[in-house]
Chain A
Amino acid sequence: MKKLLAVTACPTGVAHTYMAAESLIKAAKEKDIPLKVETRGAVGVENEFTEQEIAEAHAIIVAADTDVLESRFAGKPVVKVPVAQAIKNPAGLLDEALSRQASAPGDFAQQVEQSKAQRSSSRSGPYKHLMTGVSHMLPLVVAGGLLIALSFVFGIEAFKEEGTLAAALMQIGGGSAFALMVPILAGFIAFSIAEKPGLAPGLIGGMLASSIGAGFLGGILAGFLAGYTAFALKKYIKLPRNLEGLKPILLIPLLASAITGLLMIYVIGEPVKGIMDGLTSWLTGLGTTNAILLGLLLGAMMAFDMGGPVNKAAYTFAVGLLASDVYGPMAAVMAAGMTPPLGLWLATLIAKNKFTKEEKDAGKAASVLGISFITEGAIPFAAGDPFRVIPSIIAGSSVTGALSMAFGATLRAPHGGIFVLPIPNAVGHVALYALAIIIGTVVTAILLSLLKKPVEQRLS
C-alpha cells in the first residue's frame, strides 16, 4: 500500500490550513489511502512528520502558501499546489501524488548533495568556524600531499639532491603547501568568526603555531583566539565618526595580532607544542594493540553520523596530523569513510529481498559515492532504517579502520577515495589498504543482510 503525506499551511493559519487538511483526510478515507497530514498554522506545527515517515512515503503533497521546510522532502516526489487547491480538489491531488514516480537513481547523488549542503548551512557557532577553516585548508593538503608523493617517485631520498625535479616537487608540496596549512586553517577560522578583520591576526597566529611547533592544535587555538579577539575589538572599540575608518584597517589588525601573537608565544605555544609532540611521538611509536584501538575508534566515528560533527572531528584530527608527518590515521579515516556507502551497495546486491527497487537503484549510486569517499552516500539508507543501518556501518567502518592501522597503511592526501590509490607513493601498503576497505565493505553488507527485515514485512 502506497503511503502519502501532506502538509498544509496558509499565512493566517486558522482557516485554510485546517480546511485543506480536513478535505484531504476525508478524500483519502473515501479512497482508502493511508495519509498523514501535517498542519502548520497559528497554533504551531501539529502532526509533524518523522524522518522515518518521510522515508516511507510514496509522495508528499505540499498544499501551502507559506514555507513548510520543503528541504525535508529532498529526493521524494512532491506535488506542490496553493492551499486552496486542496480544498477544491483533494481527490485529484491524491491521484496525482499516487501517480508520481519515486526518484530515479540519478537523483540520489543530488539528494546526497542536498543533505550535505543543508548540513553545512545549518552549522553554527564554533563548529561552523572550525569547518570553514578546515575546508579552506583542504586544497593545500590535497595539492601538497600528492606533490610530495610524486617527489618520492624518484626515490624516497631523491628530493635531497638540489636542482632535481624531485627537489622542486618537495619544495612546492612540503616547503610551501604544507607550510601554509596551519596558517590558513587558523586564518579562516578567525575569518569565519570576525570576517575580514579576523583574517590577518588568524594567519599570523597560525604561522606562529607552525613555527613554535604547536601544529594543527595550536593553529585551531590561534584561529579562535584571533577571531574572538578581533570580533570583540570590532564590537567594543568606539571611535569618533571621522576616525571610525581607521578601526578595521589599523586598530583591529594591530591589536588583535599583537594580542594573539603574544599569547601564542608566551602562554599557549609551549604547552600545546608539548601536547602535539606527545601526540606525535605516541602515534609514531604506536604498538599494534593501540593502533587497532585507535583505528576502531576513528572508524566508528566516521560511520556514526556520516559527515556530521563526530565524523568531522575524526577527519579533522587525521588531516591535522598530516602537518606533523603522521599519515596512518588519515588512511584509517578515509577507508572507514568509504565503507558505509560501499557496504550498503553490496548489501543491495546480496540481500535483494530486503531492499525496495528504489533502494537497489540508490545502491548503485551509493557505490560511486563510496569509492569517492563521500560517506554521506549512506545517509538516505540510514534515515529510512537508522537502528539497523547505523550499527552495521559502524561495525564495518571500525573493522576497516582497525585493519588499516594494523597493516600500517598510510595516506598523504586527505581525500580522493580509490582515485588516490594508483598515484605512486600516495598510499603506503596499498594492497593491504585495499584489502582493509574490502573487508569492511563485506562486514557491513553481511550485517545489513542479517539485520534488515524483508521488504514485505517492513511495509505491512
Chain B
Amino acid sequence: MNINALLDEKSIFIPMNASDKNSVISSMIDGLAASGSISNKEEYMNAVLTRESTGSTGIGFNVAIPHGKSKGVLKPGLAFAKLSAPTDWDSLDGQPVNIVFMIAVPEEAAGNEHLQILIALSRKLIDSDFRDKLMRIEHADQLKNLLAAI
C-alpha cells in the first residue's frame, strides 16, 4: 500500500492561489470531495475548523497539517497544496505557511493501514531534509515520487 493511493490528482494543488487560511481549507476540501474521499463537506469542514480552534495545526517550519475526523469522511484521504504566497496560519513558530497537507479521517477508523500511512507522513514531516524537498516541489509527479519513498 502506497501513500499515493490516498492522494488523488484532484486534491493536489501546485500552486494554490489563496489569500487566507480559510480559503485554503475550503479549496482543499473541495478537492477531497472531488476525489471521493468526503461525502459531507460541511461536516468535515466543521471538524477541521474545530480542530484549528483548539490550537493551530501550523506545526512550524512553514508547514501546516489541517485535519479532521468526521462522519462526513467516506475513506481516509490526503490533499496537498503548495501556496503561491506565504499565508498566516497562527503557527507554533509564528512563521507563515507554504506547504499544506490536509488529512481526512473517517469517524470509525481504528488501526487500519491507511491511518498507518498518514502517521508515517506526520512523522516524516519532522525530518528537515524531507521538508526541504517538499519546498522545492513544482509538479504533482515530483510530490508523488517523494511521498512514494516514505
Contacts and interface: CB of A to CB of B under 8 A. Distances in A.
Most buried by B among A12, A22, A82: A12
Contacts of A278: none
A11 B51 contact: yes
Contact of B123 (A12, A22, A43, A65): A22
Interface string B95-134: 0000000010100011110011011001101110000000
Contact of A15 (B103, B111, B112): B103
B61 to A, nearest CB: 9
B105 A44 contact: no
A431 interface: no
A11 B109 CA distance: 13
Interface in B80-94: 92-93
A26 interface: yes
A104 interface: no
A82 B65 contact: no
B110 A43 contact: yes
Given A42-B69, A84-B92, A87-B126, A14 B115 contact: yes
Interface in A1-51: 11-19, 21-23, 26, 41-44
B45 to A, nearest CB: 15
A88 interface: yes
Given A22-B126, A42-B115, A14 B51 contact: no
B15 interface: no
Given A43-B111, A43-B116, A44-B111, A15 B122 contact: yes
A105 to B, nearest CB: 38
B99 to A, nearest CB: 14
B67 A12 contact: yes
Interface in A296-331: none
B67 A15 contact: yes
Interface in B59-79: 59-60, 65, 67-69
Contacts of A19: 59, 122-123, 125-126
A390 B93 CA distance: 50
A14 B122 contact: yes
B105 A84 contact: no
A81 to B, nearest CB: 12
Nearest to A90: B126
Given A19-B125, A21-B123, A87-B126, A44 B110 contact: yes
Given A12-B67, A15-B57, A19-B59, A88 B92 contact: yes
Contacts of A15: 57, 65, 67, 103, 118, 122
A14 B103 contact: yes
Contacts of A11: 51, 54, 69
A23 B126 contact: yes
A444 to B, nearest CB: 45
A88 B93 contact: yes
A365 B64 CA distance: 50
Most buried by B among A19, A21, A22, A82: A19
A172 to B, nearest CB: 60
B115 A87 contact: no
Nearest to B104: A14
A19 B124 CA distance: 8
B67 A87 contact: no
A43 B123 CA distance: 14
A82 B59 CA distance: 13
Contacts of B127: 22, 26
A42 B60 contact: no
A65 B53 CA distance: 13
Contacts of B57: 15-16
A12 B119 contact: no
Given A11-B51, A43-B116, A65-B54, A26 B126 contact: yes
A44 B59 CA distance: 23
Given A12-B69, A43-B116, A18 B54 contact: no
A82 B116 contact: no
A87 B56 CA distance: 12
A26 B92 CA distance: 18
A42 B110 contact: yes
In the A-B complex, the 6 residue pairs with the smallest Cβ-Cβ separation, listed nearest first, are A22-B126, A18-B122, A22-B123, A88-B92, A15-B122, A14-B118
20 contacts: A11-B69, A12-B69, A14-B67, A14-B69, A15-B122, A18-B122, A19-B123, A19-B126, A21-B123, A22-B122, A22-B127, A42-B69, A42-B109, A42-B110, A42-B111, A44-B111, A65-B54, A84-B92, A87-B59, A88-B92
